[in-house]
Amino acid sequence: MDEREFTEWAGGCERALLRSAYLLTGDLHRAQDLVQEALTKVALRWPRLREGNPTAYARTIIVRDNVSWWRKRRRESVSDDVGRADAAGGAVSTDPDAALVVRRALARLTSSQRAVVVLRHFDDLSERETADALGVSVGTVKSQNAAALARLRTGAPELLDLIGRTR
Amino acid sequence: MNDRPDPHDLHDLLAHATDAIERPHLAGTALREAHRRRVRRRGAAAAFVASAAVVGVVATTLGGSLVADPAPPPQGTPTPTGTPSGTPSPDDGRTGPATWPTFDPRTAPDLPPAPDDLAPALPRVVDPPASAPSVAQDPMPAAVVASVDRDAGLVRLLGTDGRWRTQAVSQETPSAALSPSGTSLVVWDYVAYDASVVDLTTGEDRTVPPPDPAAVGVLEAPNWLWLDDETLTTVGFDRSFVVDADTGTAERAPFDLGGLSSAVDSDGAVMTSAQWTTPNVLTDWAGGEPREVSMERTGRLSYLAADDDGTVAGTSYDGRPFAVVADRRTLTPWALLPVRDRGAAYSNGGLSVLGLAEDDTVLLRVARLGTGDYAGFDVVAFDPGTGEVSLVSSLSSGDAFAAGLLREVAAPPPPDPEPPVADPVEPADVQTAWDPDDVESLPWDDTLGLPRDLSVGVGAAERGAARAVAVADGAVSVLGPAGWYVGAELPDGVGDDATVAIAPDGSRFAVVDGDVLAVSTDDGWTTLPLPRAFSGAGDFYTDLDFVGTDRLLLGEWNRFWEIDVAGGDAVRLPFDVIDEVVPAGGDVLADRYSDTEVNVLERWRDGTATVLGDLSALESTQRPASDGASLVTVRADGGYYGGQPDVTDTDGLLALDLDGLTVRGFLPVPSRASFYSDNANLTPLGFTDPDTVLAEVRPAGSPGTTWLVTWAVGTGEVHRVASFPTDQPRLALALDALGAD
C-alpha cells in the first residue's frame, strides 16, 4: 500500500474523527482507541478505499464499534462515565464549562440517539448518510433524532440555553 | 417526525466543546497494526515456511526451507544480551523497528501458552508413540508433523485427525519433507539421487528419479523440498530443478537455491540469503525475476521465512543475535527480538525460524538443551506487534512440518449476531385510535368464560378449574366456572396484603407476604424458602408470577429471582432496578431501560440472558407482557420537536413479534399527561391466544372502574370483557385457562 498517501489522508481527518468519537463516548482515551482501530481497518483496506470515501468508512467503524463496545459493557458492569470524564475537564475544550454541559447533556441520551446527534449535528451528515453509518433505516434516524432532541430539550435545558435557544 | 431545529447552532456548540482536542497522530500506529493483521484477513492459504535443520540432522528439511550451512558462530566470546529492555523502542512505525525485551530461549518450556487459534493443527504436546498403523493400512487426511526414526527405518506422522501413522522407508539415512497442506511426503537419502513420494491420503508411494541423470555420481546428491502440494524442487546439484511429484518430470528451475538459507512463500516464490562468502544480499524470485536486496539493516539472515504479503522473518547473528521481522521489499526491519545466546548454542542451530503464521506471528523452533545433546524442542510464537512470546507446542521429536498447516490461524469464533434493532412505528402500523372513555360502547367478548362483573367475591360456588384468584378475607378466592369459591385459607404469616399469582393453566397458585412464600397443593400449602437477599419489607412492592407451571418469578424493586417450585432453588436474575421483568411462556423477558442506556430486550432462558434486540426506536415501552412468541407493551411517545406530530406520535398498545422485533400492530390510545402510559392506567396482561391481547384499563373519565378489554392485534378490534371496582383486591388471571369449559 501507499503508506505516504494513507498517512496524508489520516493526518487530514484524524482530529475530526477524534472529536466526533469523543462526543460519542465522553471519554477521550476510549475515543482514541476507537479512532486508532478505525484507522487500522482503513489501512487494511486502503487499496480499495483510497479511491472512495475512506473517511466515511472510518466514521462508520467508529460508531459501530462504539455501539458494540457499549453493548458488551452493559452486560458486564456500569461505571460512571460522566463523573470520570468530568475529571478530564479542560483537556477537550477551551471552555471547560461548556464542555461539561455538553458532556452531561449527551450522557442523557441512549447510545443510538447520541450517535445520531453527533453524526447529524457535529459531522453534518445527511439523514441518509447517518442511516448508512449506523446501519439503520432513515426512519430510525428521524425518530432517534427527534427523540434525542426532545430529551435534550426536557432533560438538558442548559444545553439549549448555551446556544441561546428559547423553547 | 421532524427534522433538527437549527443544526448549525448545535454544531457550533459541539465544535466549541471539543475545540481543544488535538490531532492524535495515530497513522503510524495504525499502519503497523494493519501490517500485523493483514494476512489474517485474507483467509487461509497454504504456505511453506522457512525452517532449519537441527545441527546434527544435516539436510533434513522443515517445511520449505533448506539451510546449506549452519550459521557461523558469533565472533569472539558470546555476549549475554543483558536484562530485558522492558518496553520497546519507537512504537509509531516511523522512526525504526520495535526492539522488544530480550528472549532467553532456555525459558521456552515455561512460557505462557500461545493463543489457541495459532497453528491449531499442531497439538500442544507432540510425542510420537512407539507403534502406529502404517499409512498404507490407514491413510490419513493430512499430516502436520513428520518425525524420522533412522534406527527403526520409519517416518512417524501425526495426522490432522490427531492419530499417528508410520511410513517404512528404505533409505539408510532418510530425510523427509511434508507438502504444504500435509497430504504428501517426500523421503530421500543424502547419498541417493532419487526420492520417494508418498500420497498420505491413499498410502500409495512412488519413486521420483534423479532430475539430472548426468549429475548422478558426479555431483553431490540433492535435497528436496516442496514448492506446492504437487511440485518439488531440489537443491544440491550445481543447479536447481522443478520436479512434478506425480510424474517425476523435471525441468530447470528459474531460481537458484544455493545459499545460506532459502524459503518458499505461500505462492511458491523462492528467496535465498547469500552465503557468508558472498555479498550480503537476499535474492527474491517473487514475480519471476531475481531481485537483490541488501541485508545490511537486518543482518545476514541465516534462517528465513517469508509470506506473500510482504513480510520476511529470519534470525541474524551479525553482532547480537536477533529474530528479525522486516519488510520483504526493502528489508527494512520493523521488529527485533534480541535473543540471549549463552555459549552460542542457539546461534549454532538451537534457534531457528520455523515459519510465519498468517497474522505475521513468527514461529521459532527452540531446542531444549540437555547434557550435550538436544532433548526435544519447543515451538515458540513471537508476536512482532506486541513483543509477546508464548509456547505453541513441545515436541520430543519432529523433523518436518506441513508448512501450510503451521501457517494457519484459526478463524475467530463468529461473533454473536448483532441483535435486531426494532424499527420505529410506521404509519402503516397504526390502527384506528381507541378512547377508553368509550369502553361502554364496545361490543362484549364473552368467549373467555369470565363474568362481565369481575368483582372479587368470597363465595361458595362449586369448585372447578380456576380462572382467576385474589386474596380476600384471609383466604385465596378462586374464580371457577360456577363463580367464586374459597380455594384455601391463607397460610400462617400471610395476610390480606399478600401478593398472589396463578399458574397460566390455573393448576396452582402461590402467595408471598413478608417472609412467607407458599404454593398451593392438593391438600393445602407448601412453603418455599425465600432468597436470603429478599427483603420482604413493606416498603417494596413485591411481584410474583408463574413462569410456566413449575417456576415462580419473584421480584422486588431491584431484584428478581426464578424459583423452582419443586425444589425451592432460587436463581438471582441479572436484571436491575429499572428493568421490567415478566414471564414469557417458559422464559423470562426483561425490558431494560434507563436515561443513559439503550432500551434493550433480553431473554432469560436456561440460566442465560440473551439480548433479543434494541427497542429504542419504539421510544418508551412500558409494562410488557409476553406469551414467548410476541410481546405487547404500552408504548409511550417519546415526544417530537417543533412542527406537527404525525400519526405515530402517540401513546398506545404495541405488539411485536419477538422474532425480529417487527411491529405486529399499534393501537393508539391517546391521553393527556400520559394518563394511560406513565400513570399506568393501561396495562396489557398477556395473550389469550396468539393474536389477542387481554389488557386492563381505567378510563380517564371513570377511573373508579377497571375494565378488561381484548385487542385483536391483527385487526385493531377492541372488545370489553369484564369490569370490576378499581379498589378491589388485585386479580391474577390464568390466561391459558380462559375460554376453557
Grid coordinates given for B612: 433479543
At B693-733, the pLDDT tens digits run 999 999 999 989 999 999 999 999 999 999 999 999 999 99
Highest-confidence segment of B169-173, B420-424, B524-528, B642-646 = B524-528
Domain locations along chain A = 1-79, 92-167
The predicted structure's pLDDT at residue A167:
31
Distance between CA atoms of residues B306 and B327, nearest Å = 10
Summary mean pLDDT of chain B: 83
Instruction: Give first-to-last CA distance, chain A, whole Å.
Output: 52
Contacts of B638 in chain A (CB under 8 A): 143, 146-147, 150-151
pLDDT at residue B412 greater than cutoff 70: no
- Give the closest-approach CA distance of B36 to chain A in angstroms: 10
pLDDT at residue B661 greater than cutoff 90: yes
**CB within 8 Å: A108 and B10:** no
The predicted structure's pLDDT at residue B502:
97
Supply the ipTM of this predicted assembly.
0.91
- The mean pLDDT of B682-687, rounded to a whole number, is 95
pLDDT at residue B182 greater than cutoff 90: yes
The predicted structure's pLDDT at residue B132:
94
**CB within 8 Å: B14 and A23:** yes
The predicted structure's pLDDT at residue B94:
37
Contacts of A70 in chain B (CB under 8 A): 598
The predicted structure's pLDDT at residue B415:
54
The predicted structure's pLDDT at residue B65:
43
Distance between CA atoms of residues B198 and B169, nearest Å = 10
The predicted structure's pLDDT at residue B38:
52
Contact in structure between B291 and B283 (CB atoms under 8 Å): yes
**Out of A74, A121, A144, closest to residue B7 by CB:** A121
Contacts of B597 in chain A (CB under 8 A): 74, 110-111
The predicted structure's pLDDT at residue B642:
43
Residue B20 sits at the chain A interface (C-beta within 8 Å): yes
pLDDT in 10s for each residue of chain A, 167 residues: 578 888 999 999 999 999 999 999 988 888 999 999 899 888 877 766 777 788 988 888 888 777 655 544 433 333 334 444 444 444 788 888 888 889 888 888 887 889 999 999 999 888 888 888 877 778 788 888 888 888 888 777 787 777 753 23
pLDDT at residue B105 greater than cutoff 70: yes
- Give the closest-approach CA distance of A84 to chain B in angstroms: 15
pLDDT band at residue B90 under the 50/70/90 scheme? very low
The one-letter code for the residue type at A134 is L
Pairing of strands B570-572, B281-284: unpaired
Higher confidence at residue B668 or residue B83? Answer: B668
Choice among B240-254, B308-322, B508-522 with the minimum mean pLDDT: B308-322
Residue B473 sits at the chain A interface (C-beta within 8 Å): no
- Give the closest-approach CA distance of B311 to chain A in angstroms: 13
Contacts of B522 (CB under 8 A, 6+ apart): none
Residue B578 sits at the chain A interface (C-beta within 8 Å): no
B 411-430 residues inside an 8 A Cβ radius of A: 418, 421, 423-424, 426
Helix (H) / strand (E) element for B34: namely helix B27-37
- Give the closest-approach CA distance of A155 to chain B in angstroms: 10
**CB within 8 Å: A71 and B19:** no
At B194-239, the pLDDT tens digits run 899 999 999 999 999 988 888 777 777 788 989 988 899 987 777 8
Which site among B9, B16, B21, B608 would you substitute to test the A interface, given the most A Cβ atoms closer than 10 Å to its Cβ?
Answer: B21
**Out of B1, B17, B418, closest to residue A143 by CB:** B1
Higher confidence at residue B282 or residue B9? Answer: B282
- Give the closest-approach CA distance of A73 to chain B in angstroms: 11
At B596-628, the pLDDT tens digits run 446 789 999 988 888 898 888 887 788 899 999
**Out of A14, A107, A163, closest to residue B24 by CB:** A14
The predicted structure's pLDDT at residue B431:
97
Contacts of A53 (CB under 8 A, 6+ apart): none
Contacts of B39 in chain A (CB under 8 A): none
| Domain made up of A92-167: CATH architecture | Orthogonal Bundle (1.10)
**CB within 8 Å: B26 and A35:** yes
Contacts of A145 in chain B (CB under 8 A): 1, 3-4
The predicted structure's pLDDT at residue B192:
84
The predicted structure's pLDDT at residue B220:
77
Query: What does the DSSP assignment read for B511-578?
Result: EEETTEEEEEETTEEEEEPPPTT----TTS--EEEEETTTEEEEEETTEEEEEETTT--EEE-S--TT
The predicted structure's pLDDT at residue A80:
37
Choice among B15-19, B517-521, B641-645 with the minimum mean pLDDT: B641-645
User: How far, CA to CA in Å, does B275 sit from each of B73, B239, B282, B364?
Assistant: 14, 16, 10, 22
pLDDT at residue B688 greater than cutoff 90: yes
Q: For residue A53, how many other CB atoms are within 10 A of its CB? A: 12
The predicted structure's pLDDT at residue B71:
39
Closest chain B residue to A3, measured at CA: B31
**Out of B11, B596, B599, closest to residue A122 by CB:** B11
Contacts of A23 in chain B (CB under 8 A): 14, 17-18
- The mean pLDDT of B55-71, rounded to a whole number, is 34
pLDDT band at residue B68 under the 50/70/90 scheme? very low
Residue B629 sits at the chain A interface (C-beta within 8 Å): no
**CB within 8 Å: A147 and B4:** no
**CB within 8 Å: A163 and B13:** yes
**Out of B14, B34, B638, closest to residue A102 by CB:** B14
Which site among A23, A40, A134 would you substitute to test the B interface, given the most B Cβ atoms closer than 10 Å to its Cβ?
Answer: A40
At B5-40, the pLDDT tens digits run 343 478 888 998 999 998 889 988 888 877 766 533
Query: What does the DSSP assignment read for chain A?
Result: --HHHHHHHHHHHHHHHHHHHHHHHS-HHHHHHHHHHHHHHHHHTHHHHTTS-HHHHHHHHHHHHHHHHHHHHHHH----HHHHHHTTGGGS-S-HHHHHHHHHHHTTS-HHHHHHHIIIIIS---HHHHHHHHTS-HHHHHHHHHHHHHHHHHH-HHHHHHTT---
**Out of A32, A108, A146, closest to residue B24 by CB:** A32
| Placement of cell 426506536 in the chain | B617
Highest-confidence segment of B130-134, B276-280, B297-301 = B130-134
**Out of B23, B34, B595, closest to residue A15 by CB:** B23
The predicted structure's pLDDT at residue B537:
58
Of B453, B499, B457, B448, the residue nearest B735 (C-alpha) = B448
At B152-181, the pLDDT tens digits run 999 999 999 999 999 999 888 899 999 998
The predicted structure's pLDDT at residue B614:
85
